[in-house]
Homo-oligomer: A and B are copies of this chain.
């Protein structure tokens, strides 16, 4: 069901294949880090100068609604987009510089029935927070 490129997945959802969506998908998939909408826009502009921020936002929102990208919200600052919805993973975030790394934790965590309040739980997100090596250095 997955494993295909973002672009292929777009088509599968019945969305039209436009140049804009192509460069947005490429920007996301080519990144080794999770980009903000603005970073996606910057990269996209390099390949398609007429593209607009609105289209980037619209497309990112659509991809998210379709479950094809994950949104990462750091406490402050813009949202970031994670194209990897195929392999389950969680995030490790530096509280100072905001760097995000993908991680696969060990162990298991769950909610006992008396803690579910009747919710239908569909996802468990685990975020590890701390300081990355660079930010932990006392140099300030």
A-to-B contact residues, CB < 8 Å: 71, 73-75, 79, 92, 94-95, 101, 103-112, 115-133, 136
Beyond A105-B109, A107-B109, 18 additional contacts (C-beta under 8 Å) are A73-B73, A75-B79, A92-B116, A101-B119, A106-B110, A106-B111, A108-B108, A108-B109, A109-B126, A119-B133, A119-B136, A120-B136, A121-B129, A122-B129, A123-B128, A124-B127, A125-B126, A126-B127
Q: How far is the CB of A72 from chain B (nearest CB, A)?
A: 9
Q: How far, in whole Å, are A79 and B121 apart by their CA atoms in the complex?
A: 22
Shortest distance between the CB of A114 and any CB in chain B (Å): 10
Instruction: State the number of copies, please.
Output: 2
Determine the distance from Cα of A107 to Cα of B115 in the docked complex, in whole angstroms.
13
By beta carbon, the residue of chain B nearest A101 is: B117
Pairwise interchain contact B132-A119, C-beta atoms closer than 8 A: yes
> What B residues does A109 contact at CB under 8 A?
105-109, 126
Instruction: Write the nearest CB–CB distance from A90 to chain B, whole angstroms.
Output: 8
Task: Let me know if A122 and B130 touch, CB within 8 A.
Answer: yes
Contacting residue for A107 out of B110, B120, B129, CB 8 A:
B110
Which of the listed residues A103, A111, A118 has the most CB atoms from chain B within 10 Å of its own CB? A111
Closest partner residue, chain B, to A117 (CB atom): B101
Q: List 12 A-B contacts (CB under 8 A).
A: A73-B75, A92-B111, A101-B117, A105-B109, A105-B110, A107-B108, A109-B109, A111-B128, A119-B136, A120-B130, A122-B129, A125-B127
